[in-house]
Amino acid sequence: MNYELFLNLCDKLVTNITLPQIDSKDGYVKIKSISGDNIYLIREKLIYLQKKIVYEHIVNGRPLNPYMSYVCTLIDGSRDNTKNKEQGKASTIKWDEIISVLGEIKDTNSLMSEDEHFEITYAKYFDFSRSCVRLIKNGFPIIEIEDSFYFDSNYHHQLSIEIGRLATSIGGCNILHACFESISNSYDSSQKRFHIHRSLSMGHDRPLPAIPWAYLIALGTKYSNSFGDSNRENNFPKLINLLTDIVAVFEVQDYSPYESWYVDHYGLTKFLSDEVVFDNLYCIAQMHSGHVTEILNYVVNSSEFKSLKSHGFSIGKIYKSGLILLSKTLDHQITHIDHNNIKKILNLDPKKNTAIINNILLNKSPNHSLEFPPKSTNIDNNFNILTPLKSSYLLLPRPLSSLAFLNNTLNSIIAPDGKRNKHNDATLGHVIERFVKDKLLSYGILFHSGNFVSKDGLVYGESDITIETDNTIIFIEIKKKGMTRLSMSGVDYSILSDLGGGLIHATSQCFKAERVLRCDGKINIEGSSPIIYKSQRVIKIALTLYDYGSFQDRMTIRSILTNSLGATFKGANSSIDKKLNNWKEHINELSTHIQCLKDSNQLDTEPFHNLFFMSISQLLMILEDKGSSEGLVKALITLSSISHSTRDFYKEYSLSKKYIKA
């Protein structure tokens, strides 16, 4: 079924014919009956036609109605969650009979009447189509392949040239200044970060295409040595509009929270990829400066690393140098610092001053390989605190510089002298775990930590942190590893591999401990008295050093895990398939623990309701606010019960604080 055929059949079988009318409900029953096992494939095609009708209307001036009303009615009438994709066979779909049912319910179905509010209801399709129109007018074609729309890859180089022309004309420093000026109102002084997040609608407000701030900032740092020309003021809005239209064609911006709630396992990998790409184009990688300083101060002064050197400098000197530079940054705007000033504040002789800048603190050519389409593998401006600015240097706002400071210092530990050290990498994970434990103790939060084994001896594991209160038990598993740059570019198998080795593994470990606790009625963690299960609430936290963006949203977590259980993922070839071993192993482990809880009637109705993916910075934020195990529990319960549909943990916490009773 294609667009032209659909319109012709609608004209022939619905618009231009008069048939005896039946009740709308009976018509829907008839549509389902005719569709049979093909109903999944039918809905899939109808959703494409819905978008295609809007696209043709906006781009080529083709009629919107009555065809939009017809396709919406068919989608409404073909709702059936009992059939799957594999059951259908496209060649056996009886399109004539299905469409003809519309002629029988023209007078009895409310959706069949022309709707003046299509642009509000389907704003995403209209905005997408308008972006396509503007790109086409600028000489960049949109092509259609297998019911999907794409920016023509033959024009990638041409687009890179145009983006570079505009960025050079504006000047990288001017791009950065204008970007941070534009988003300064989103800065949260208590959380010390910018709130750049999704604007999703439940139907009351119409979302608008988001501006890709992260992409603009990446371009600004790439062209930081350019000061622009006389056309810079006129070209900045042109650059914003062009990039906004370009990334709109990627279709990674959700307009409704339902788009993540109702993802099925067929669309899971695309959903994961879209979430990552959105985070890296629109949202800003940043971190609380106080948290970064705390973590690094603990790490560099640990017995494991305090004697470490990189490029001839002690890790303590590297840390202090970064800390001094961080103190020169502004909260929500860029600033510059000249070479003489750096020499003065670092208090080094000229040779050492040059060495520490060039080898550790400075990214000499940030994002130099960034072209279109943008990939995180080509974005490296958050790995060094200094950015070049002609004869001086640029410092990004403190939240961004803080993350660069963290990466800068940890890279000197993991790869001293630029050479990867696996022992240091593994040791760093243990030191960070110890930091979290000591931080909990500083708030008077006691915990259990150590090995455990089930009564029958068949299930055994290690609990990083288990916190027990009167009404709640919290299992925390810590993973240092973040998303690789390949994953952050949206490569699906890499995302699955990283999630499998990090968050999914931690989740499986939490469920393993919960399984022993609930099925045995207690859990014995070495070195402490048994924790007795008395129907307490069980909260599970997979804790990481770095933020995982929208993957830390509660509804997104549920979609990921619900669709992963029982699903089989295979790589395009044996090499890629091997990279999914982490994912397969830990998803299978998780499935086993959940099934055992279910068999023992101990599984919660919503198994993932009290599960959190959190970063250490997010945990510190709550602890600073609440300062006790009871306060932590109350905050987590509130966060698990209320959603503001931002898919941003920090913003969700900010909005939910008024509901959290001290």
Distance CA 480, CA 368 (A): 28
Alpha helical stretches, state H, 61-206: 67-77, 95-104, 118-121, 123-137, 156-170, 172-183
User: Distance between CA atoms of 433 and 410, rounded to whole angstroms?
Assistant: 15
Radius of gyration over alpha carbons of the chain, in Å? 28
**pLDDT category, 485, cuts 50, 70, 90?**
confident
State the DSSP string of 56-101. HHHHH----TTHHHHHHHHHHHT--TT--GGG--GGG--HHHHHHH
Are residues 503 and 355 located together in one domain of the fold? no
Please indicate whether residue 578 or residue 55 has the higher confidence score (pLDDT).
55
Last residue of a domain, one of 420, 448, 474: 420
The pTM of the whole model exceeds 0.85: yes
Residues 303 and 250 in one domain: no
**Residue that finishes a domain, picked among 93, 116, 139:** 116
pLDDT at 499: 85
Same domain, 630 and 647: yes
Poorest-pLDDT segment among 152-166, 436-450, 510-524, 648-662? 648-662
Same domain, 414 and 293: yes
| 187, 156: one domain | yes
**662 pLDDT more than 60:** no
Q: Looking at residues 484-511, what average pLDDT do you find?
A: 84
Is 496 in the same domain as 407?
no
- Region 138-166: mean pLDDT is 94
- In tens, the pLDDT along 27-86 reads 999 999 999 999 999 999 999 999 999 999 999 999 999 999 999 999 999 998 888 888
User: What distances in angstroms separate CA 242 from CA 132, 161, 368, 440, one per listed residue?
Assistant: 11, 13, 20, 47
Confidence tier at 567 by pLDDT (50, 70, 90): confident
Least confident of 183-192, 354-363, 383-392, 481-490: 481-490
Structure confidence at residue 261 as a pLDDT band (50, 70, 90): low
If you average pLDDT over each of 202-211, 343-352, 482-491, which comes out highest? 343-352
- Say whether both 351 and 295 belong to one domain: yes
Query: Which of these, 297, 187, 279, 248, lies nearest to 490 by C-alpha position?
Result: 279
Is the model more confident about 201 or about 274?
274
Q: Which residue is listed with tokens 């931690």?
A: 506
Residue 445 has a pLDDT of: 97
Tell me whether residue 332 is in a domain.
yes
- The answer as to whether 466 is a domain residue is yes
pLDDT band at 451 (very low <50, low <70, confident <90, very high): very high
Region 278-289 average pLDDT:
92
Cα distances (Å, whole numbers) of residue 633 to 104, 323, 576, 652: 56, 33, 40, 16
155 and 140 Cβ atoms separated by less than 8 Å: yes
Q: Are residues 13 and 112 in the same domain?
A: yes
The pLDDT of residue 302 is above 90: yes
Same domain, 469 and 577: yes
Q: What is the pLDDT of residues 520-530, one digit of tens each?
A: 999 999 989 99
Domain end residue (candidates: 282, 312, 347): 282
- Which residue is it, tokens 């760093």? 428
Q: Tell me the pLDDT tens digit for each residue of 582-628.
A: 888 999 999 999 999 999 999 999 999 999 999 999 999 999 999 99
Say which range, 225-234, 298-307, 635-644, has the weakest mean pLDDT.
635-644
Q: Tell me the residue type at 397.
A: P
Q: How many domains does the chain have?
A: 4
pLDDT given for residue 563 in this prediction: 84
Contact at 8 Å (CB) between 445 and 437?
no
Token pair listed for 206: 């119409």
172-225 pLDDT, tens digit each: 999 999 999 999 999 999 999 999 987 777 666 788 899 999 999 999 999 999
> Which domain range does residue 650 map to?
438-659
The answer to whether residue 559 scores a pLDDT higher than 90 is: no
Percent residues over pLDDT 70 in the chain = 98
Residue 111 lies in a domain: yes
pLDDT of residue 208: 86
Q: What backbone phi and psi angles, to 5 degrees, belong to 617?
A: -60, -35
- Is 603 found in the same domain as 466? yes
219 and 311 within one domain:
no
Question: Is 137 a member of any domain?
Answer: no
Gap between the Cα atoms of 574 and 579, Å rounded: 9
In the chain, % helix, strand, coil (3-state, to 5) comes to 55, 10, 30
449 pLDDT more than 60: yes
Instruction: Out of 128-137, 254-263, 282-291, 437-446, pick the least confident.
Output: 254-263
Domain assignment of residue 333, yes or no: yes
Residues 90-124: tens digit of each pLDDT: 999 999 999 999 999 999 998 887 666 898 889 99
**Residue 494 pLDDT:** 85
451 shares its domain with 399: no
Is 136 domain-assigned?
Answer: no
Look at residue 128 and tell me if it is in a domain: no
Question: What does the alpha-carbon distance between residue 442 and residue 445 come to, in Å, rounded to a whole number?
Answer: 7
Residue indicated by tokens 């036609």: 49
> Is 463 a member of any domain?
yes
- CB–CB of 432/302 below 8 Å? no
Alpha-carbon 355 to chain mean position:
37
Strands 392-395 and 387-389 come out as antiparallel
533 pLDDT more than 60: yes
Calpha distance 368→370 (Å, rounded)? 6
Omega prior to 366 cis, within 30 of 0: no
| Average pLDDT over all residues of the chain | 91
Task: For the chain, give the percent of residues with pLDDT over 90.
Answer: 71
Q: Round to whole Å and give the CA distance between 34 and 95.
A: 9
